[in-house]
Amino acid sequence: MRDIKRISVRGKRVLVRVDFNVPISNGIVQDDTRVRATLPTIKYLIKNGAIVILMSHLGRPKGKVKKELSLEPVAKVLSNLINQKVKFVSDCIGNNVKSVINESREGDVILLENLRFHPEEKENDAEFSQKLSELGDIYINDAFGTAHRKHSSTYGVAKFFKEKAPGFLLMKEIEMLSQIRDNPAHPFTVILGGAKISTKLGVMKNFLNKADKLIIGGGMAFNFFKSQGIEVGKSLIEEDKIEDSKDIMRKASKENITFLLPVDIMIAKEFKNDTEKKVVSKDKMEKGWMGLDIGPITSRIFEEAIKGSKTIFWNGPMGVFEMENFREGTEIIGKAVSDETNKGAFSVVGGGDTISCLNLLRIDKISHISTGGGASLKFLAGETLPGIEALEEK
């Protein structure tokens, strides 16, 4: 891939794919983390005299114009952050967009409307990709969060450009995640939790012979229990992944890896904060109950296991952290990860939910917080991400 700094951008129209998929409520941006994350690239382009054309998706409009999913509120936020006007255009292709760009000067910033208002974006439609490409002379992708998607703006558009490169955010993500994937310092501890085991199978398989410890909590742990014939009550299960769970446990026992599952669980009568709850041993689940957090003995075991790590990757909470009564496990593990980081471990946390839990629990001592959940999991599973592949010069 080319280095953005080796491309002459002055006076050129630079089309930048960013990830401005931020939470918006009543027209107000609730969290601007993703906008801030792209500032190094945007500021660099402004400083070097480019005409900066930003494009992004927001939410799931399903190919239709939805006013509540307009990117217009983001233009205001960005404008405040860079201290200059951001021109917002109410479409992402067409003559109106082109004339706004043509009237622009060096250092101007333009934000296009939500790409996904056009169904062709997600279909990676060739004609739509070409129309996007007509807007710029140079293509930059800085949207790590969507790099695992083969869409027009992340993939199809790239082949129309001779000059293309990753932005600073994308480069940093690749650098940090490659260190974990290819060259982790040992002991290397991988902590996985959350609801969907299906999204984490690839990472587990890839790390079975690289990590020293694999720690599993959250709803996904119940797939492993079920695969061993342990009663799981009404706990979260992905039925079609039971065989995979069995397979992982089989492989883990062959590899020289410490594979840790919960030994006790906080179970609940109903899926809500104020409900009857109690701690039971993992094999004493009661029918009609569900596991919503790891138990206190498990928290201590996991905490001990994390101590002394030199590299840590964490994705997915240990329980339903959104509910106060089922947050403790995640809190203890989060603190253990940040304590080890303080002692010099290299820690990477990925995934939207894990990031919200860091914010909620005020855990900030982490070496790298990845902006992409799905993208980081696929990258670490060893998959080629279309958004990165499209930037490679053959």
Task: Provide the annotated active-site residues.
Answer: 34, 196, 352, 374
Q: 120 vs 238, which CB is nearer to ligand AMP? A: 238
Q: What is the spatial distance between Cα 216 and Cα 92, in angstroms, rounded to a whole number?
A: 43
Residue 349 has phi, psi (to 5 degrees) of -120, 135
Q: Which of 379, 347, 382 is nearest to 144 (CA)?
A: 379
Cis omega (within 30 of 0) on the bond before 187? Answer: yes
- The DSSP 8-state label assigned to residue 210 in this structure reads T
Task: Give just the sign of the alpha carbon dihedral 377, 378, 382, 387.
Answer: negative
Minimum CB separation of residue 199 from ligand AMP in Å reads 6
Give CA torsion, residues 78, 80, 86, 89, to 10 deg: 60
Minimum CB separation of residue 234 from ligand AMP in Å reads 10
Q: Which of 1, 32, 2, 5 is nearest to 19 (CA)?
A: 32
Q: Which residues lie near ligand AMP (CB under 6 A)?
A: 193-196, 199, 218-219, 236, 291-292, 316-317, 319-320, 322, 351, 353
Q: Which residue is nearest to ligand AMP (CB)?
A: 194
Q: 295 vs 319, which CB is nearer to ligand AMP? A: 319
Q: What is the spatial distance between Cα 52 and Cα 138, in angstroms, rounded to a whole number?
A: 10
Q: 61 vs 351, which CB is nearer to ligand AMP? A: 351
Q: Are 53 and 112 in contact (CB under 8 A)?
A: yes
- The DSSP 8-state label assigned to residue 383 in this structure reads P
Minimum CB separation of residue 290 from ligand AMP in Å reads 7
Q: 218 vs 386, which CB is nearer to ligand AMP? A: 218
Q: Which of 173, 238, 231 is nearest to 201 (CA)?
A: 238
Minimum CB separation of residue 371 from ligand AMP in Å reads 15
Q: 156 vs 319, which CB is nearer to ligand AMP? A: 319
Minimum CB separation of residue 237 from ligand AMP in Å reads 10
